[in-house]
Structure 1
Amino acid sequence: MPLNDLTAFPAIVSVIPKSGVQFLDFGFSIAKSSPVPKDWGFYDDPKAAARPTGAGDEAAPIVVRRGDVDSGLVETYAIDHKRIFEAFDRVWMPFPLFREELGGGYFRGPTNWARAYLVRLDAPDDDGNDIRLILALDTDLIDFVEDEAYLAPSPHDTTNGRSFSLPSPQDPTDWFLREPWVKEWCLDVFKEMIEAEDRRRSGSRHARPLTLDELRERMEGPHEYLARYQAFIELIFGLDILPKFVLVDRITEPRPAPIDVDIVIDLGNSRTCGLLIEAQPDQLGADITQAVKLQLRDLSRPELVYSDPFDSRIEFSRATFGRDHLSLRSGRAEAFSWPTIVRVGPEAVRLASLRRGSEGSTGLSGPKRYLWDDDPRRDSWRFNSPMAHGEQSGLATGVAFTTLVNDIGDAIHQIPQATPAHDEAWFPSIRALYSRRNMMAFTLAEIFYQAIGMMNAPAHRLRRRNADLPRRLRRIIMTIPTAMPLAERQIMQRQAEIARDLVYLCIGAAAAQPAADGASAATLLTHADTPLPDVVLKWDEASATQAVFLYSQIALHYSGDARAFFNVLRHPLNRADGASDAFRLATLDVGGGTTDLVVTSFRVEGQGANVTLFPRQEFREGFNLAGDDAVFRVVREHVVEPIRRALGAAGLGDRTDYLLNRLFGGDRGDMTVIEQLRRQQFAAQIAAPIAIGMLAAYESYDPLAPMPATSRPFAAFFDGTALANETVVTYVNQEADKLGATGFELQKMVFPIDFAEIDRTVRSVFLEMLQSLGEVVWRCQTDVLLLSGRPSRLPAVCDILRETCALPPHRIIPLHTFRVGQWYPFRDYQALISDPKTTASVGAMLCLLGEGQLQNFNFRADELKPQSTARFFGKLSGNNRLLKDDEYYEGLDLDDREYELPEKEFDFRGPMPLGFRQFPVDWWPGTRLYSLDYASPELAPKLNARTPLKIRLKRNTREVKDIIDSFVLSRIEDRDGRSLPNNNLRLRLQTIDNQRGYWLDTGILLDK
């Protein structure tokens, strides 16, 4: 279980104002020898039963006994630890952290700035604690006004250095228990506990809600719900685990500047990871060993945090910290308002597994696959609400973030002022028809907001110097696939900038100012302490990986003498050539969605260890064929096929194929949304984890020492990090039973694992592509080839490259076997790169710091400039090949800003995919870039009668000067030579084959 490491907090902990919701983790275990009372005795006036229960009742239970210390007063009932956990386990509760008075005692408040979340762990943590307490603090400040409720710390509290702490049982705090919203909260929690108990006893998911009178009958006293809460508060005080809190003064002048922090993010198609590195003001250069992993907090299970590479999946989910409607009654409308709208990573994966199917669309397998799709969605996005009892969840709107975007998801502050005031683009989102492209901004906004909270968290700051200084983002560095089309690079840059803007608007660190000309988009004004961080998208994943290899060798092993290292490692044939003394390093980055190759030559300037490295990209190429394709093929051949055989053995016979195609095939006219959801859930939550488990086991396969075939039961693939969706399992079993399968139970299946067969399957995916790339490595006369990306651990990948004889085997280095050193943030206990996915983000950090901030490593990463690989452009075949007869343009030079497309025409006879390749051979894989289609279904029959249409394209250099591979329609003529309006056809960016979505989003496994 990915629990957060516990911090030994000092007696007084500083809190950074306006740093969002801050979390503090505490652990404890209640042993028999514990000093806290084993129970609390209460006197609850029976006469209060005649008065209304709830907000109108001013009475409260009185503690008459704590443990064995008896006051001699009458006791109505007792509350022990079991009853406390019955009521408050995994429930957010208001928590009384009040301001200490200078003369002793406590002021009446603040009442609504702290929440507590109690968790009984399934197993003790590493310190032996079996209970976790998560304290959440809303760090926004509210001006104090006499005779009004004191709801949150005020600016004066920060300038005066006032402390906040939990009052003792002897301090008068009954007034807090009598707060109407607090009483209603406790009553609501008690009612929910009783109704959950009734559902368990009846074995039904639905239980009749209890009336207030019925609820009173279930209480031992009229205020048992308050007694349990008071016992909970006294339990936490008795454990003595909470420090005092002081808010850092950021108002009084002069004030020291905040600590600058850079965040590096490698957001992949399948997985994402990130790093944070601080720039201490009193430190020359950068200490790379101080880089820390980006940490995400699970908002629906806040005891969990994730710092290793996490799933890129997103789900729409409203973050709540308890009963918002009751918090509103306190007088504070925006307490604990988490501004963003999507959850990312393992939390999103878990939420997706809890979907019912009738709530509508709630998420994506990853936003990076859909940067091309700017169409509004036909049906609204909805919140993933596993606990909702209705048929549909609410529309994904109504949080701070969605007030800043319109229905399509475009940022309202970026709409030109010249747009008419009545245009729908100006209206905040109501229908939640966000385009899939804008999901990238939504995802990055969540990551940025979590990063701002993490770097200002007390636990993080206390592990760093200048612990009482706030942290602010200085730069956002993102890596990109080596061969990502430049059009998509620009889109990704814009989405990252939009995400940054929206987060700063949400947290109040920026405000939109209308443009002076009255026509352009608004600009953002920021506070002097929080300027907008720069967004940097300079370095591709493969080049960044090279920086990791070079830094670990040159800076650490050769003390900066790059020339000596290159002389040792150069290929003997290259050393004998004498034509060039440059060192050529190739990197093959096999990711989840793309495979990229880059060959870079490195020139050294300077003498001895005082040198500068100048990189120059000699070659780069990439294909949309990677790890997810291997997973898909393993699903079809090693997951679905055993199910097929099991169904046949269960008596289905010829009906087996019929059932499998109904379950996992393409859409049908009679297919319900529930069936579509179950298909998608099976692919993402059953089939994919099984396939990934098989591939993980296959990573240790040695073809020279083959292991006998083995098997693994269904349950063994789901170890807690991935949970089998019982609803989907039941659905598959029931569908098989309907057709007459006898004794078929998916959850009891045993899947054969034949590594030789898995090796054959993986080879069938990568063989042709890797052979082609191997030839490039050989022709470029490279000295060393690095293999990065998690799928590079698959034995077939390395074996195929060795078989090409592009390089001697010892010059092909899989980075998961590379001993990188103790400086690497994601190292394992042997100082190895256990997960090659992480090299891109760490390498981007090195590229950033290598420009003058690292000892023994001066790396001119600014010399790495992206160049277009589009040389031949035309219509792609079904297997992404650009055949000679389908070439429309050749010899393209899109890097030349003055270059124009040739005045050539091509025929349009119907929807067609367009793409490019780099070499003049039609066996070289092509890359999809555009789709050309009719502008609307209504135009299709009219224009089809006039086909073939003659099409001309031109470069779109006026509107998007930074996108050199952007094309637009120049001219359309029908077969008779008559001109047609260009808006009759639509040329749109589309980089994946299926417009409906990726197989992990559609669940279609048997489409061919």
Structure 2
Amino acid sequence: MPLPELPHYPDVVSLIPNSGVQFLDFGFSLIDGEGKKNAKAPADWGFYDPHPDTRVSAQELPILLRRGAEEMTPGREDYAIDTKRLLQFVERTWLPIPLFREEPGRSFHQGPVNWARAYLVRLGERDKGGNEFRLVVALDTGLMDEYADSGYLAPSSDDARNGRRFSLPGKTDFYNFLLNQPWLRDWLNELFKTMVEQEESRRANRREVVLSPEEILDRMSGPNEPLARYVAFIDLLNQLDFLPKLLFSDTVTAAKQVFVDVDMVLDLGNSRTCGLLVEAEPDSRGADINRAFRLELRDLSRPEQIYVDPFDSRFEFAIARFGLNHHSHRSGRADAFSWATIVRVGPEAVRMAGSRRGSEGRTGMSSPKRYLWDEEPSQQSWRFNGQTLDDEWEGFAAQGVFAGLVNDAGKPLHAVTAGEDDLPTLLARYSRSNLVSFALAEILLQALVMINAPAQRLRRRNADLPRRLRRLILTMPTALSLAERELLRSKAEAARDLLYLCLGRAERQFGDEPGKLEWIEGPPPEIILKWDEASATQVVYLYSQIALAFSGDARAFIRAVRGNGPADAQGHGSEDGDSLRVATLDIGGGTTDLVITALRADGKGSNVTIFPKQLFRESFSLAGDDIVQMLAREVAVSALSRTIQQSIGRERAEALVQELFGGNRGDMTAEEQLRRQQFAMQIAAPVAVALLGEYEGYDPINPPAVETRVLGDFFRPDAPPPPGLVTSLERAVTEAGASGFRLMDVPIPVDLTEVDRIVRSLVGDMVRALTEVVWHYRVDVMLLSGRPSRFPAIKDSIMETGALPAHRVIAMHEFRVGQWYPFRNREARISDPKTTAAVGGMICLLAEGHLHNFNFRSDDLYARSVARFVGKVEANNSNNRLQAQDVYLADLDFETIEDLPDAKFEFRGPLLLGVRQFPNQWWPASLLYMIDFADEEARTRAMRRTPLRVQLKLESTKRPRVKPNEPPEKVVNDRLAIGEVEDCDGGVLSGRQQPLRMRLQTLRNRDGYWLDTGILIDV
């Protein structure tokens, strides 16, 4: 379980005003590991709870008479609440807690009443500190002035200015007034009702039991038992005595507004995402890479968990709930504990995806970045994932402040232009491209909360100062088209703008210019897209070697790497001994990238500047997720098919497997589509990933013996596949005629030699082709990065070409990087090569004047288009080959051309356009565009006039915004558009008569990637 390390809080903890929902983590035990009871924790609490006919007043409260053996108040005890009954009531639910303002004389003010909540969890196994429980305290840091008619609901600006403290009252007398507030009483009564109904449901073995108010009252020990359990919970927290006092740092006084700037680098991948942050002290101009720290994601539905490693890029629509908000609203604070975004990312999203039923509609996807190209509004509405306490599935994902700032396509309202939809969304038909902004906004919000979290600030200097994001640096796939780069930039800017509007840090300005915002609390984070992932990996290697191993002497490093033997024989033409050529093969989840860079050292001794020049870059869409898909099909699905064959024969079994895991059918239900998708994501893919994990240690010279395991062995006992999915698949197989079928008992062969063969068959040709390029450029050293680079077949395929000797091929997961690396393992090595892009991006940011012993001109690594040949890619060609006869535009150089050559090609029906870098037709092309009829009316009107003759043009592109007083950057544009269209008779079709439409499309299947569709069998 990914539990956060428990901080050692001081007696008084400072909070940053308006820093969102902040969390404090605590651990404790009622019984220690040796079976001894915690002396601070009472065994039970005794209460007097007068019945209505004996009450003095209509709202009389239960009176705490006894705490364990300690008598509190004389009186007749009606019932006792022991720890078992208490935990049954408070576990895994958010409860308001009274953290009130302290007054002189150990007294407390009446409030604030709705700004603090607690969440208690019993751990499955004790944490490293031996704790059996975790308590998470959530604090809404929004300030709110106190008014006579609304009460004291939240800390105020005056509280922050005067340094007033807040803590938990030790006596019930100080918070009895809170127990009388209807919103809290109803909250506790509803929790009690839910608890009792769940007990009855378990006893009756029924899905749902609904009890009447009279039946609920009959099950109470007294008329106010929910209040009594709540009082016992607050008293337990008091007796354990670990909650610190709280106060707010004064950021509301203008003269005291000093901030610590924070930069964040994000490697937003198709499969996984990695984030890194670094602070710049107020009294320094730069940041220290040695103080960089990982991005943390708080799981909002299991708030005791935090994720610090690279996380799954999946996202799901979900409303963050911090308790029973419908009761909280009645307190008078409608926006209490409002989480600004409406999606969850990472492991939380993966878990949510497994809980879907199918009938609720689409709730998320594997990675929005895969669909950056798709700007079309969705045909179906997006819906929230998750169940309310009433077991009702959520509706359209169009609730909350965030949704009110975008239109139905998901475009920010402040950025719409004339003629576009300028109304807030109702149907949530967000384009998949705009969902990149939704996911980025959630990641940004998690980062903003994290950098101002008390636990994080206590580890840093200037712990009481507020933090703000200064820059967001996004790394990119190496050969991402310039058109897609500008799209990614615009989505990142939209994410920032929408989030800051939600947080009240920006306001919309109405005028002639769309996209204009006024920033309330200083400048917003600058969005930087400069460096690709493979180049960033090179910088990690160079920094570790030059700055640390060679103390800044880049010339000595270059001489050591090139040597006097074979490396000199690779001479680089006119380049002297102060140059080096480095290649990086970065294999990620979605793309495989190759970059070759020439490095030149200028200067003497350790006072040297390194000038990089990229000689070659290329990306292919064949990568790690494709390996997972093939293994899922060849191992998991094949094993399932063989098992079914034993009951119903081969022909019927193959037909059933095709029906379950093949493409869409006209009669396929939503539940069947979900079952297929969940099987791929929740069962087949985990089996493939587990096999690949074992394959990373495979030795082809001494291969392990083949063994057989059952499917259930691939899952931890505490994390099995969704039971509903297992039951549904078993029912489908049984209905097809198989008897006694148990999915978790399906035998799976663990044959690592076969895994090696499968990996080689899929990526071997690609790796060899890229290695040939490496040989052509006479590279001195080659780096391997990305998680799939750990597979033996990758390095072995490179070695078999003879392009480089073994000692010049460096796998980054084996590279000893040093103690400075934020994601190092205990041996100071890079345990996960995925992290090198984010860390390298941070070094690129700091390398120009901020790092000791390392001056690197990262500004020379600017984006270049690799599209040289444009033409039609065959729709059934899975290798994306662009044949010579299908090339429409050749020898392009988007760095220099002002317009495209005057060349036309025939259009007879929908076609995919791809681009490639070399004239060789065997070199793989990359899909980039789809040309089709604009609509059915245009199709009907124009088909009689085909073949149409189409001429392409360069689409006009706005220059990106630049800082004041800076010269505008040169904008290289490689986005194509339809220029002129002629019919078969030579007539020009223009204006409304022009029937075609051209759009970006980088996936062959417009319906989606296999992780989203679940299609494992392509035939």
Which residue among 518, 521, 524 is the counterpart of 1:525?
A: 518
Mark the CA change 1:440 to 1:750 in structure 2 (over 3 Å): closer, same or farther.
Answer: same
Q: Distance in 2 between matches of 1:925 and 1:536?
A: 30
Mark the CA change 1:48 to 1:906 in structure 2 (over 3 Å): closer, same or farther.
Answer: farther
Counterpart in the other structure of 1:836: 833
Which residue among 550, 553, 561 is the counterpart of 2:542?
A: 550
Q: Distance in 2 between matches of 1:393 and 1:472?
A: 34
Are residues 1:980 and 2:975 paired? no
Counterpart in the other structure of 1:580: 575
Counterpart in the other structure of 1:37: 42
Counterpart in the other structure of 1:10: 10
Identity %: 53
Q: Distance in 2 between matches of 1:136 and 1:390?
A: 25
Counterpart in the other structure of 1:205: 207
Deviations 1:945-972 (A, max 9, x none): 2211111111113567846111111111
What are the residue-to-residue correspondences of 1:291-440 with 2, within 5 Å? Answer: 291-387=292-388, 393-416=394-417, 419=418, 425-440=421-436
Instruction: Note the C-alpha offset of 1:136.
Output: 0.3
Letter of the 2:842 partner, please give it.
M
What are the residue-to-residue correspondences of 1:706-721 with 2, within 5 Å? Answer: 706-719=703-716
Counterpart in the other structure of 1:887: 887
Unaligned ranges ≥5, structure 2 = 32-36, 961-970
Say whether the 8 Å CA contact 1:260–1:472 is kept in structure 2.
Answer: yes
Letter of the 1:816 partner, please give it.
H
What are the residue-to-residue correspondences of 1:650-669 with 2, within 5 Å? Answer: 650-669=647-666
Letter of the 1:136 partner, please give it.
A
What are the residue-to-residue correspondences of 1:499-648 with 2, within 5 Å? Answer: 499-515=495-511, 519-527=512-520, 529-570=521-562, 572-576=565-569, 577=571, 579-581=574-576, 582-648=579-645
Counterpart in the other structure of 1:815: 812
Instruction: Note the C-alpha offset of 1:580.
Output: 1.2
- Three-state SS of the structure 2 residue aligned to 1:791 is helix
Say whether the 8 Å CA contact 1:871–1:890 is kept in structure 2.
Answer: yes
* Root-mean-square deviation over aligned CA pairs: 1.6
Say whether the 8 Å CA contact 1:355–1:386 is kept in structure 2.
Answer: no
Letter of the 2:977 partner, please give it.
V
Deviations 1:353-374 (A, max 9, x none): 0001100000010011000001
Counterpart in the other structure of 2:748: 751
Q: Distance in 1 between matches of 2:650 and 2:913?
A: 43
Q: Distance in 2 between matches of 1:390 and 1:464?
A: 44
Which residue among 437, 449, 473 is the counterpart of 1:477?
A: 473
Mark the CA change 1:167 to 1:971 in structure 2 (over 3 Å): closer, same or farther.
Answer: same
Say whether the 8 Å CA contact 2:387–2:393 is kept in structure 1.
Answer: no
Q: TM-score with structure 2 length normalisation?
A: 0.96
Deviations 1:104-159 (A, max 9, x none): 30000000000111111111111010111100000000112235310000100011
Q: Distance in 1 between matches of 2:700 and 2:140?
A: 56
Deviations 1:641-671 (A, max 9, x none): 1111111123343210111011001111111
Q: Distance in 2 between matches of 1:542 and 1:853?
A: 22
- Three-state SS of the structure 2 residue aligned to 1:821 is coil
Q: Distance in 2 between matches of 1:873 and 1:462?
A: 55
Say whether the 8 Å CA contact 1:117–1:135 is kept in structure 2.
Answer: yes
Counterpart in the other structure of 2:94: 92
Letter of the 1:661 partner, please give it.
Q
Deviations 1:582-639 (A, max 9, x none): 2000000000000000000001111011000100000000111100010011011111
Mark the CA change 1:381 to 1:263 in structure 2 (over 3 Å): closer, same or farther.
Answer: same
Instruction: Note the C-alpha offset of 1:285.
Output: 4.3
- Three-state SS of the structure 2 residue aligned to 1:333 is coil
- Three-state SS of the structure 2 residue aligned to 1:142 is coil
Say whether the 8 Å CA contact 2:705–2:751 is kept in structure 1.
Answer: yes
Say whether the 8 Å CA contact 2:52–2:58 is kept in structure 1.
Answer: no
Counterpart in the other structure of 1:269: 270
Counterpart in the other structure of 1:806: 803
What are the residue-to-residue correspondences of 1:9-408 with 2, within 5 Å? Answer: 9-31=9-31, 32-47=37-52, 58-70=59-71, 71-146=73-148, 148-169=150-171, 171-207=173-209, 209-283=210-284, 285-387=286-388, 393-408=394-409
Instruction: Note the C-alpha offset of 1:171.
Output: 4.2
Unaligned ranges ≥5, structure 1 = none
Q: Distance in 2 between matches of 1:50 and 1:656?
A: 72
Counterpart in the other structure of 2:869: 872
Instruction: Note the C-alpha offset of 1:575.
Output: 2.2
Deviations 1:788-824 (A, max 9, x none): 0001011111111111111111111111111111110
Letter of the 2:224 partner, please give it.
H
Say whether the 8 Å CA contact 2:296–2:306 is kept in structure 1.
Answer: yes
Instruction: Note the C-alpha offset of 1:57.
Output: 5.0
- Three-state SS of the structure 1 residue aligned to 2:1017 is coil
Instruction: Note the C-alpha offset of 1:60.
Output: 1.0
Most deviating of 652-661 and 934-943 = 934-943
Say whether the 8 Å CA contact 1:651–1:740 is kept in structure 2.
Answer: yes
- Three-state SS of the structure 1 residue aligned to 2:103 is coil
Say whether the 8 Å CA contact 1:190–1:225 is kept in structure 2.
Answer: yes
Letter of the 1:184 partner, please give it.
D
Instruction: Note the C-alpha offset of 1:719.
Output: 2.6
Say whether the 8 Å CA contact 1:359–1:391 is kept in structure 2.
Answer: no
Most deviating of 541-550 and 250-259 = 250-259
Q: Distance in 2 between matches of 1:77 and 1:766?
A: 70
Instruction: Note the C-alpha offset of 1:210.
Output: 1.6
Most deviating of 165-174 and 228-237 = 165-174
Letter of the 2:667 partner, please give it.
D
Most deviating of 802-811 and 994-1003 = 802-811
Letter of the 1:534 partner, please give it.
E
Deviations 1:160-211 (A, max 9, x none): 111000000264321111111110010000000001101111111121x222
- Three-state SS of the structure 1 residue aligned to 2:583 is strand
Instruction: Note the C-alpha offset of 1:706.
Output: 1.4
Most deviating of 681-690 and 384-393 = 384-393
Q: Distance in 1 between matches of 2:149 and 2:336?
A: 20
Say whether the 8 Å CA contact 1:351–1:386 is kept in structure 2.
Answer: no
Q: Distance in 1 between matches of 2:257 and 2:739?
A: 74
The number of residues matched between the two structures is 993
Deviations 1:904-952 (A, max 9, x none): 1111111110011111110000011101111113332432222111111
Say whether the 8 Å CA contact 1:957–1:963 is kept in structure 2.
Answer: no
Q: Distance in 2 between matches of 1:364 and 1:765?
A: 25
Are residues 1:789 and 2:789 paired? no
Say whether the 8 Å CA contact 1:49–1:222 is kept in structure 2.
Answer: no
Q: Distance in 2 between matches of 1:958 and 1:685?
A: 42
Instruction: Note the C-alpha offset of 1:256.
Output: 4.6
Q: Distance in 2 between matches of 1:390 and 1:114?
A: 26
Q: Distance in 1 between matches of 2:469 and 2:356?
A: 35
Q: Distance in 1 between matches of 2:251 and 2:915?
A: 55
- Three-state SS of the structure 1 residue aligned to 2:517 is strand
Say whether the 8 Å CA contact 1:511–1:526 is kept in structure 2.
Answer: yes
Deviations 1:225-254 (A, max 9, x none): 100000000001100010000011112342
Letter of the 1:546 partner, please give it.
Q
Q: Distance in 2 between matches of 1:152 and 1:247?
A: 12
Q: Distance in 1 between matches of 2:956 and 2:529?
A: 21
Deviations 1:409-458 (A, max 9, x none): 00111124xx26xx6x2211111010000110000000000100000000
Q: Distance in 2 between matches of 1:149 and 1:106?
A: 15
Q: Distance in 1 between matches of 2:262 and 2:847?
A: 16
- Three-state SS of the structure 2 residue aligned to 1:7 is coil
Q: Distance in 2 between matches of 1:817 and 1:846?
A: 20
Letter of the 2:438 partner, please give it.
F
- Three-state SS of the structure 2 residue aligned to 1:100 is strand
Instruction: Note the C-alpha offset of 1:389.
Output: 6.1
Instruction: Note the C-alpha offset of 1:284.
Output: 6.0
Say whether the 8 Å CA contact 1:648–1:656 is kept in structure 2.
Answer: yes
- Three-state SS of the structure 1 residue aligned to 2:395 is coil
Most deviating of 226-235 and 644-653 = 644-653
Say whether the 8 Å CA contact 2:939–2:995 is kept in structure 1.
Answer: no
